[in-house]
A and B are shown apart, each in its own frame.
Chain A
Amino acid sequence: MAITLEQIHYTYSPGTPFARVALQGVTLTIEKGDFVALIGHTGSGKSTLIQQMGGLLQPSEGKASVDGIDLSRKEKEIKAARGKIGIVFQYPEHQLFAETAYEDIAFGPRNLGRSPEETDRAVRRAMAQVGLDFDTFAQRSPFRLSGGQMRRLAIAGVLAMEPAYLILDEPSAGLDPRSRRLFFEQIVKSHKQQGMAIILVTHNMDEAARYAQRLLVINEGKLLYDAPPREIFAKYQKELEEVGLAVPAAARLAAVLRARGVPVPADIITEAELEKFLLTWVKKRGKK
């Protein structure tokens, strides 16, 4: 049970002067329960890739499937597959449309043909997951909420489809540090409790380092690296910079300390790890 992409190629407007190659031979598998971060600069092919995973674009070449369902089949047949994959696009609050929050969240499950009882249960659960109180918000107009609440409502609309795989495209863009932290706490909880696979597209290397178990780096339509973040951030600092990316702030700080002669191990990529190391190191040094 997995999302598998085999040798996916994709070209926009093929055969015209405006043809643009977006993906060239991407092969990867995302297992149930994975927490994957996908990084790459703008135009590297990230958004094309997630649209392939969600069956929203047909590959020019290659094969994409979800839990064994071939995504190149007809509209009707891949509808079942779409139900397994939830995609939260950038600025998801811009897709809200219904008269009440309840109706908006129920849109997905109803489209998937769920019964009214199932839908109701899914809506309540999704609202609880994103921290929107049912009694307070269910009958409110989506357009009367604050920016942060709208974002959470839109995410609930995707969660209500109870996808096995959740793709999040820059979900924390524009949020302040506190909202950002709260958001990820909720996502990590959903990931752990329901075993939902998460594919996090982000520009924020700290988020990738802190939350993902696996990191995909994409550049010019090709998969550059596919390994645990610790390995990639420790080994390929220079290569990442060359493709317009960076390492997490903690890894950068670690590098500065290392250059000074502080023996920080190469595999430290989060602030918590660096703090733990420095505490033991300073104390050890104090004893000498």
Chain B
Amino acid sequence: MLEVQGLKHYFTDEQGRTVKALDGIDMHVDDGDYVAVIGESGSGKSTLARHFNALLQPTEGRVLVDGMDTAAEENLWAIRSRVGMVFQNPDNQIVAAIVEEDVAFGPENLGVPQPELGRRVREALAAVGMTAYAQQGPYLLSGGQKQRVAIAGILAMAGRCIVLDEPTAMLDPRGRREVLATVKKLNEEQGITIVYITHDMSEALAAKHVYALEKGKVALAGTPEEVFSETDELERLGLEAPPAGRLAAKLRKAGIKINGNIIRDEELAEALWP
């Protein structure tokens, strides 16, 4: 689905200095994969996200979406209809004043004719559980519901990959759960590829693969088990392992023997009291 080869993204700041936002990223995301990208503020996460649907162009290196180079102008719309973005602020990505019209915005831009258009909108709203709100104004929705509408907008474009850039940062716990559950369901039931950018490790636990960024480079990569067991390294990156992982590491340091990679509550319980 996504292939990132030696991606560098440099820009010049106000003082005229060159900032290396991304400094040689290699990454591979399979069809139907669920990848979490973690890193502290300024690590380059959001810049990376914007490369996946050609909102940014590489300074060096390549980004391929289903084999299409994001640097080639003629691929632009095919890439953007395939890879959708959900941004942090739920308010600033809803265009229309009625939910169903907003979901239709993407496919309308692609020129999808009726009745196909109506069907897509209905199916997309149903997939994120927002059918009941089709006729409402977005300002009446909660943050979690707005993000689900944004996801529906991508599904209606027949997108196969959703890139979410800190989608829950502005939401309450309920909204967080809604978004996570929706993402998980789409990944499992419809095989939608997910790239989930966050600095909340508990949200990254649901992923199949995790990339931790530091100053525009990949510092850690692997399964959640592999990445989150590196508690010291995560600490150095300004991140935190999930509670069970942190506790397991502390107990180990105190000389208690705990086997295996521990990142989830149940795994710690299993290790302590088999």
- Interface residues, chain A, CB within 8 Å of chain B? 41-43, 144, 146-148, 173-179, 203, 244-246, 249-250, 252-253, 256-257, 259-262, 271, 274-275, 278-279, 282-283
Q: Which residues of B contact A179 (CB under 8 A)?
A: 40-41
Give residues of chain B (128-159) contacting chain A, Cβ–Cβ below 8 Å: 142-143
Q: Which residues of A contact B88 (CB under 8 A)?
A: 174
Taken together as a complex, chains A and B put the C-alpha atoms of A262 and B240 apart, in Å, by: 25
Whether B202 pairs with A278 at a CB distance below 8 angstroms is no
Taken together as a complex, chains A and B put the C-alpha atoms of A274 and B269 apart, in Å, by: 13
Comparing B63-71, B105-113, B166-174, the segment that makes contact with chain A is: B166-174
The one of A244, A253, A260 that contacts B173, using a Cβ cutoff of 8 Å: A244
Taken together as a complex, chains A and B put the C-alpha atoms of A278 and B246 apart, in Å, by: 13
Question: Smallest CB–CB gap between B242 and chain A, Å?
Answer: 8
Which residue from chain A places its CB closest to the CB of B250 in the assembled complex? A275
B126 at interface, CB cutoff 8 A: no
Q: Which residues of B contact A271 (CB under 8 A)?
A: 243, 246-247
B95 at interface, CB cutoff 8 A: no
Q: Which residues of A contact B169 (CB under 8 A)?
A: 173-174
Whether A245 pairs with B173 at a CB distance below 8 angstroms is yes
Interface bin, chain B: 35 or more
Question: Smallest CB–CB gap between A248 and chain B, Å?
Answer: 9
B251 at interface, CB cutoff 8 A: yes
Whether B199 pairs with A177 at a CB distance below 8 angstroms is yes
Whether A253 pairs with B265 at a CB distance below 8 angstroms is yes
Interface centre among A147, A176, A259 (most CB of B within 10 A): A176
Taken together as a complex, chains A and B put the C-alpha atoms of A282 and B270 apart, in Å, by: 14
Instruction: Show 5 residue pairs from A and B whose CB-CB distance is below 8 angstroms, ordered by the A residue.
Output: A41-B174, A176-B238, A203-B173, A262-B269, A282-B272
Q: Which residues of B contact A245 (CB under 8 A)?
A: 173
Minimum-distance CB pairs A-B, first 10:
A178-B238, A176-B199, A176-B40, A256-B265, A260-B269, A249-B243, A177-B240, A42-B172, A174-B169, A260-B273
Whether A278 pairs with B247 at a CB distance below 8 angstroms is yes
Whether B247 pairs with A253 at a CB distance below 8 angstroms is yes
Whether A282 pairs with B40 at a CB distance below 8 angstroms is no
Can you add 8 more A-B contacts, CB < 8 Å, to A245-B173, A253-B244? A42-B174, A173-B170, A253-B265, A257-B265, A260-B270, A262-B273, A278-B247, A278-B251
Whether A257 pairs with B14 at a CB distance below 8 angstroms is no
B72 at interface, CB cutoff 8 A: no
Question: Smallest CB–CB gap between B202 and chain A, Å?
Answer: 7
Q: Which residues of A contact B174 (CB under 8 A)?
A: 41-42, 244
Taken together as a complex, chains A and B put the C-alpha atoms of A12 and B265 apart, in Å, by: 43
Question: Smallest CB–CB gap between B149 and chain A, Å?
Answer: 17
Q: Which residues of B contact A261 (CB under 8 A)?
A: 273
Whether B247 pairs with A177 at a CB distance below 8 angstroms is no
Question: Smallest CB–CB gap between B153 and chain A, Å?
Answer: 23
Taken together as a complex, chains A and B put the C-alpha atoms of A146 and B172 apart, in Å, by: 24
Whether A148 pairs with B251 at a CB distance below 8 angstroms is no
Taken together as a complex, chains A and B put the C-alpha atoms of A140 and B76 apart, in Å, by: 40
B266 at interface, CB cutoff 8 A: yes
Question: Smallest CB–CB gap between A45 and chain B, Å?
Answer: 14
Taken together as a complex, chains A and B put the C-alpha atoms of A224 and B241 apart, in Å, by: 33
Taken together as a complex, chains A and B put the C-alpha atoms of A197 and B89 apart, in Å, by: 32
B239 at interface, CB cutoff 8 A: yes
Taken together as a complex, chains A and B put the C-alpha atoms of A282 and B88 apart, in Å, by: 43
The contact string, 1 if C-beta is below 8 Å from chain A, for chain B 255-274, is 01000000001101110110
